[in-house]
Amino acid sequence: MIITNPFDSDLNGDKLREECGIFGIWGAEGTAAAMVALGLHALQHRGQEAAGITSWDGTMFHTHRAMGHVAGNFDRDDVIRALPGDAACGHVRYSTTGETALRNVQPLFAELYSGGFAVSHNGNISNAAKLRNELVRRGSIFQSTSDTETIIHLVAMSSYRTLLDRFIDALKQLEGAYSLVCMTPEGMLICRDPLGIRPLVMGRLGESYIFASETVALDVCGAEFIRHIDPGELVIVSDKGLRSIRPFAEVPPRPCVFEHVYFSRPDSIVDGSSVYSVRKAIGAQLAIEDPVEADIVIPVPDSGVPAAIGYAQQSGIPFELGIIRSHYVGRTFIQPGDKVRHLGVKLKHNANRALIKGKRIILIDDSIVRGTTSVKIVQMMRDAGATEVHMRIASPPTRHSCYYGVDTPERAKLLAAQMTVQEMARHIDADSLAFVSVDGMYKALGESGRKESCPQYCDACFTGDYPTRLTDQEDVAPADQLSLLAERVPA
């Protein structure tokens, strides 16, 4: 089977990757799984490696998980028919913790003493390893290597009496980022961590409630967007209706700024702002902060397009398609044969030579991670006859790893952690290179700038300012294990 991750080659190969998208619906009158499938398809950009749906038909839970895309797996009538019921939750994933195996694909499900319990989780628990070690010592047997399973065992092992108390007991032991949709026979539990690091929205379609990572998942179902789930909020939906509680002490929220810069779809509304508008505004900000004389503005497709339009409108330099993207990007073409592999061929993108030849160009991209594709794309422009290549990046330099559910390379591989901007310009062979400033990015988000004392967003990947403790990054003492051959105590 060919792995079809659109991110692992060509111009998009050098991006940070969001790791999960989640979706839940309650009260859908028989169409729950089909609606989840639609929603997950709209969230596919948040995780292309695997997907899963669990439904509840009033008597039984039904689960289907598959490696690969939602389309091709969850658009088959036989699959959807095997997921009956009015309630369902689902998940798309790119692995963070946990090897990529079917048993790690969410929703995770367990038969607890309270009945079935399904969990869809976006984020990353930064003390999961420590919690797991303690649970195994107490007799828990883990089915997966996913950090999410820790949450379920904490619920199962809690000494509280009601399920809701057990759930809150579990949440309070967690550290890190989590947006959760949990399904039980009696209702759904929807929750966002106290800092609100990962997004979560609520919508309504007829009598049913929908919860999803982004508003585009509501759009695809024809649902109405109601509001965001607040940081630290826990919503309980059942046939008796919806209620909201706040089990945590309140802290200033720190939602992830990279959702605006790259992860979320441009047609989503995240925390009240149009992603497309924010990206255009960052492009315009770049034109103000780092202007340059040139003939045409060219986006690196597709994620650089809104910022390029913003840059072109602000600067008055024409916007043109200088890089043509193949229609078939959903499928990665693995270059066959060693001889061919090293030709440096351009499979997904091709220079529009007739346009570029003899021109001074401004290239707009959203970020630089390892810098590998920036090198290739500048080269592609020069090969096509560009006389000057100026690169403008619609985010600040990415200098730190993320521990909250985003796949980042280790720090040593982040170009901006190793070089100054001038060194980077030389490295990628650009005539000039500029990043939007941190304050410029905050301005595009409608702020006057970053509040240093109490930043409005989690921007740790740019600043290194992590909003939580990172327990599992600290040293863990090895556990003393039981031995088979140790002296036997007579029974």
Applying CB under 8 A, the span of 36-44, 253-261, 392-400, 457-465 interacting with a second copy comes to 36-44
Is the distance from CB of 236 to CB of 189 less than 8 angstroms? yes
Q: Give the nearer residue to a second copy in terms of CB position, either 250 or 302.
A: 302
Residue count (the chain): 491
Q: In the annotation, is 221 catalytic? A: no
Q: Is 468 helix (H, G, I), strand (E, B) or coil?
A: coil
Fill in the per-residue mask, 164 to 183: x = in contact with a second copy (CB under 8 A), - = not in contact: xxx-xx--x-----------
**DSSP type of residue 458:** B
Residue 203 CB partners (closer than 8 Å, separation 6+): 209, 210, 211, 212, 215, 218, 221, 223, 224, 225, 226
Residue type, 19: E
19 binds a second copy (CB under 8 A): no
Helices (H), 43-123: 77-81
146 marked as binding residue:
no
Residues in a beta bridge with 207: none
191 marked as binding residue:
no
458 marked as binding residue:
yes
362 binds a second copy (CB under 8 A): no
Applying CB under 8 A, the span of 130-138, 287-295, 389-397, 454-462 interacting with a second copy comes to 130-138
Interface residue with a second copy among 66, 67, 110, 421 (CB under 8 A) is 110
Taking the complex as a whole, how short is the minimal distance between the CB of residue 258 and a second copy, in angstroms?
17
Taking the complex as a whole, how short is the minimal distance between the CB of residue 464 and a second copy, in angstroms?
30
- Antiparallel, parallel or unpaired: β 224-228 and 201-205: antiparallel
Q: Cα–chain-centroid distance for residue 80?
A: 25
Q: Give the nearer residue to a second copy in terms of CB position, either 205 or 417.
A: 205
Interface residue with a second copy among 162, 244, 420, 422 (CB under 8 A) is 162
Residue list 210-229, contact with a second copy (CB under 8 A): 216, 219-222
Residue list 70-99, contact with a second copy (CB under 8 A): 70-72, 74-77, 79-81
Applying CB under 8 A, the span of 266-274, 398-406, 407-415, 424-432 interacting with a second copy comes to 266-274
Q: Concatenate the DSSP letters of all residues of 415-458 into one string.
A: HHHHS-HHHHHHHHT-SEEEE--HHHHHHHTT-SS--SSS-SSB
- Whose CA is closest to 119, among 20, 244, 196, 229? 20
Specify the DSSP element, H or E, that contains 308. helix 305-315
446 binds a second copy (CB under 8 A): no
Q: Give the nearer residue to a second copy in terms of CB position, either 271 or 459.
A: 271
112 binds a second copy (CB under 8 A): yes
Residues catalogued as catalytic? 20
